[in-house]
Structure 1
Amino acid sequence: MSVGRVVIVGASVGGSRVATGLREAGYTGSIALVDPDPDAPYDRPPLSKQVLAGAWTPDRVSLGDPGQWGAERYVAAAESLDPASRVLRLDSGEELSYDRLVLACGAAPRSLPGMPRRGVHTLRTLADSLELRDRMEGIGSGQLVVVGGGFVGAEVASTAHARGIGVTLVEALPAPLSGLLGEEVAAELALLHTDNGVRLLCDTAVAGLVGEPEVTGVRLTDGTTLPAAVVVVGIGVRPGTDWLAGSGIPLAEDGGVLCDEYCAVDPGRTVYAIGDVARCRDPLLDRHVRVEHWTDAVEQADIAVRNILGPVPTAHRHELFVWSDQYGGKIALIGRPEPGDRVSVVRAGGPRRRFAVAYHRGPLLCAALTVNWPKALPAARRSLGAPDGAADVVAAWKVLSSQLAVMALSARGDSPARSDQRRG
């Protein structure tokens, strides 16, 4: 297939991966990369951790120089699209024609009433992270309120706590991430916050912000006001599709660009959608799914490259993998938990909370969560989707747990036999 100019809207990991992937595959045509963020392209996961902590400088998160990929870089926002004429219009007044268009335009953080306000932050861009880092320097051990206990909110709370800042985490759900993990598992995971001295308020809604022009507190719906020198709002994101209204691009009512399992938006495969903005069809679930995580953006970018250049389309495999670094440990989720899944939990000993959770439908392992237990993850990968995967992974985890117990006894100069003798 002969492909002319490729225009990519969005220069985060998905968009930049398409650009580099095209070049690595031998594409020699024109590439245009459009994004209003002057710092892009860079990697987002470190923004709430290493960059916010001051451990990494901005150059550590750079994904490279578009000039080195032979890509034209437009620091502008996409304003409108005419798919019939294959023309993208920018807010700078420029018009870009294309043969293939990749929508990797991401999402924008949701806000609270009364925003923007000095001292109230969202965390989406490198500039956001650096601004919040500077603000945290100024409050010392003063109070930080994080609204929203998802992965970003939890990582901000963890990073701030490590810097000696008092943190209150406010979550509207019964436990952070209970919508994804289920209430039982989420309640156990929530103990990571309280174990580390972070104040956690669940089933708690925010009524508004206090203080003008600078925030001084967060008012809850029960009438309580939490004092706050800094507020971080992490209550989810909204796909960046407003500019596509009226273009004819199919948009989901609940957010995102509708595309098929090949990440293609139209039957002619001239427009693709990837990353946070894409709501791709999952043939196994028989519905469109939108995933807001790094690995999915990378995988979809690779699929888009193959399908732009290749004559036979390749389908995207919806294998969700999410990780999060919190309080010096690591949380990993593979697969997609669904309401009604049965849950099996295996706990392991050690100085910190460490466990693994199998989500299964009958004998089928559908998803697995590991908390501070990296060695439990490979067994989950092997068993995911296998006919008897649930029983297999639980058995493997129990063996690992027993091995950890033996190692702990050995480290104390003890042995299982001696321990049994003392109990007798």
Structure 2
Amino acid sequence: MSDPQRIVIIGTGLAGATAAGALRERGYSGQLTLLGEEARRPYELPALSKGILLGETNDPDWVHDEAFYQERDIDLRLSTVVSGVRLADREVVEADGTAHPFDRLLLATGSAPRRLEVPGAELAGLRTLRSLDDALGLREELSEGRRVVIVGGGWIGCEVAAAARAHGAEVTVVDPLPLPLHRVLGDVVAGVYRDVHAAHGVNWRLGVGVTAFLGEGAVSGVALADGSELPADVVLVAVGAAPRVELAAAMGLELAYPGGVAVDEELRTSAPDVYAIGDIAAQVHPRYRNRVRVEHWANAKDQGAHVAGNLLGGHEPYRASPYFFSDQYDLGMEFRGLADPAVDTLVVRGDLAAREFIAFWLRDGVVRAAMNVNMWDDGDALGKLVDGDTTVDSAGLVAGDLASMMG
């Protein structure tokens, strides 16, 4: 594999911008082009549903400072739509016809908010949360006494609910599952989140779906499957995100069920010299049996840093375990690993009622995932337990010295 002279990155989110910076840090001196539809320079997403919605800041966490790209000779092209990729010619083509030749191509196109296909979905005023503009606009709506209906009890829905209550809004969260975050956390731990939100005045409508959005021209309510209707001044649809694979599909790249671009352990796609990272990458992960596609902040950042070496001729598998964090009211947490609560055994260390605990999910005696809630001293040990595939004793997890169990 010869050294590349021209690398093009499509996607100006955290993954793409991190990869561009890492390439320069590794000494790559060739042509480097970073293309994206966003009008602002690359920024991270976690603050959108946290500090920005809470009113603590107006700025996200920028991936790099404003001068970074020019100083490192990175051709950052914002507000740029890529219309296609000519693989045979090794060219990326913008909507206006501008072509960018490449020796290596990196796809980091991210995700877009999913929408509900129900009557009224076209009404004005239905909000999603994916961009800085989304967050700033939504924050203006979260004022005292406003009736906010959030469709979706996942991480975004729960974090927005907490921010809305902090602003004094009346909040109702609707989800067809029996508990918020149920698929990720299972009955016991998800119940902690249900209860903390209820204690802060959130109204739950669980186990019921949305059949329509109501209103004349603009949304003014939500109709539920049980026949009830929720009046609303603000409606947020937070039902997950879909990987933006349209460009990859048009290129003829192999896609992976249930979504994403199929990549190998080294983040290579099915096309020579084309890689994919971040939300769209469905990776054959060295530590898991199935393909893994992760939409969280750390995955975008870490894959961006990692893929730089492989773009420059390396062959290093990406091995990092998924990691994410969330802050809601006075409940902070970090989650490491990949669990299936429907299959894995839950072991809890600490006090669920006090909301100070560590939850472990075990499969065949091995820690598949660990989540520390308002307990911050054992993060390194938890990471090593998850990454080490060490067989553990449940009683030791509950009361023993975690560091001594790392093998």
TM norm structure 1: 0.87
108, 111, 119: which one pairs with 1:107? 111
Aligned residue number for residue 131 of structure 1: 137
Once the two structures are TM-superposed, the CA of residue 317 in structure 1 deviates from its matched residue by 0.7
Structure (1 or 2) with the greater helix fraction: 1
Once the two structures are TM-superposed, the CA of residue 354 in structure 1 deviates from its matched residue by 2.3
CA distance in structure 2 between the aligned counterparts of 1:378 and 1:60, rounded to whole angstroms: 24
Aligned residue number for residue 294 of structure 2: 291
The answer on 1:315 being equivalent to 2:317 is: yes
For residues 133 and 349 of structure 1, do their structure 2 counterparts lie closer, same or farther at Cα, with a shift above 3 Å needed?
closer
233, 237, 244: which one pairs with 2:241? 237
CA distance in structure 2 between the aligned counterparts of 1:3 and 1:196, rounded to whole angstroms: 55
CA distance in structure 1 between the aligned counterparts of 2:80 and 2:269, rounded to whole angstroms: 23
Do 1:383 and 1:389's aligned partners in 2 also have CA atoms closer than 8 Å? no
Aligned residue number for residue 40 of structure 2: 39
CA distance in structure 1 between the aligned counterparts of 2:109 and 2:381, rounded to whole angstroms: 35
User: Aligned residues: percent identity?
Assistant: 34
Do 1:257 and 1:277's aligned partners in 2 also have CA atoms closer than 8 Å? yes
CA distance in structure 2 between the aligned counterparts of 1:389 and 1:46, rounded to whole angstroms: 37
Aligned residue number for residue 330 of structure 2: 328
CA distance in structure 1 between the aligned counterparts of 2:305 and 2:131, rounded to whole angstroms: 23
For residues 142 and 212 of structure 1, do their structure 2 counterparts lie closer, same or farther at Cα, with a shift above 3 Å needed?
same
| SS at 1:32 equivalent | strand
What is the aligned-residue RMSD (CA, Å)?
2.1
Aligned residue number for residue 345 of structure 1: 348
For residues 358 and 59 of structure 1, do their structure 2 counterparts lie closer, same or farther at Cα, with a shift above 3 Å needed?
closer
Give the number of equivalent residue pairs.
394
71, 93, 98: which one pairs with 1:94? 98
Q: Kindly name which structure, 1 or 2, has the bigger radius of gyration based on alpha carbons.
A: 1
CA distance in structure 2 between the aligned counterparts of 1:397 and 1:124, rounded to whole angstroms: 41
Give the alignment of 1:45-124 within 5 angstroms: 45-58=46-59, 60-61=61-62, 63-65=64-66, 66-74=69-77, 75-112=79-116, 113=118, 114-124=120-130
For residues 131 and 205 of structure 1, do their structure 2 counterparts lie closer, same or farther at Cα, with a shift above 3 Å needed?
same
The one-letter amino acid paired with 1:172 is P
Once the two structures are TM-superposed, the CA of residue 283 in structure 1 deviates from its matched residue by 3.1
The one-letter amino acid paired with 2:231 is P
Once the two structures are TM-superposed, the CA of residue 246 in structure 1 deviates from its matched residue by 3.5
Deviations 1:141-179 (A, max 9, x none): 211111111111111111111111111111121111211
| SS at 2:133 equivalent | helix
242, 247, 250: which one pairs with 2:251? 247
TM norm structure 2: 0.91
Aligned residue number for residue 25 of structure 1: 26
Deviations 1:216-247 (A, max 9, x none): 11111111111110011110111111233332
The answer on 1:152 being equivalent to 2:187 is: no
Do 1:80 and 1:247's aligned partners in 2 also have CA atoms closer than 8 Å? yes
Once the two structures are TM-superposed, the CA of residue 69 in structure 1 deviates from its matched residue by 3.0
For residues 391 and 265 of structure 1, do their structure 2 counterparts lie closer, same or farther at Cα, with a shift above 3 Å needed?
farther
For residues 267 and 251 of structure 1, do their structure 2 counterparts lie closer, same or farther at Cα, with a shift above 3 Å needed?
closer
**Unaligned runs of at least 5 residues, structure 2:** none
Do 2:279 and 2:296's aligned partners in 1 also have CA atoms closer than 8 Å? yes
Once the two structures are TM-superposed, the CA of residue 398 in structure 1 deviates from its matched residue by 10
The one-letter amino acid paired with 1:264 is R
Deviations 1:96-149 (A, max 9, x none): 111111110001001123334332110001111111112324xx3211111111
For residues 372 and 183 of structure 1, do their structure 2 counterparts lie closer, same or farther at Cα, with a shift above 3 Å needed?
same
For residues 286 and 83 of structure 1, do their structure 2 counterparts lie closer, same or farther at Cα, with a shift above 3 Å needed?
farther
Aligned residue number for residue 222 of structure 1: 226
| SS at 2:377 equivalent | helix
CA distance in structure 1 between the aligned counterparts of 2:122 and 2:7, rounded to whole angstroms: 36
Do 2:287 and 2:319's aligned partners in 1 also have CA atoms closer than 8 Å? no
**Unaligned runs of at least 5 residues, structure 1:** 400-424
CA distance in structure 1 between the aligned counterparts of 2:400 and 2:167, rounded to whole angstroms: 37
For residues 280 and 289 of structure 1, do their structure 2 counterparts lie closer, same or farther at Cα, with a shift above 3 Å needed?
same
For residues 116 and 126 of structure 1, do their structure 2 counterparts lie closer, same or farther at Cα, with a shift above 3 Å needed?
farther
| SS at 2:17 equivalent | helix
Deviations 1:341-387 (A, max 9, x none): 1111233388x522221111233111112222223434422433222
The answer on 1:277 being equivalent to 2:280 is: yes
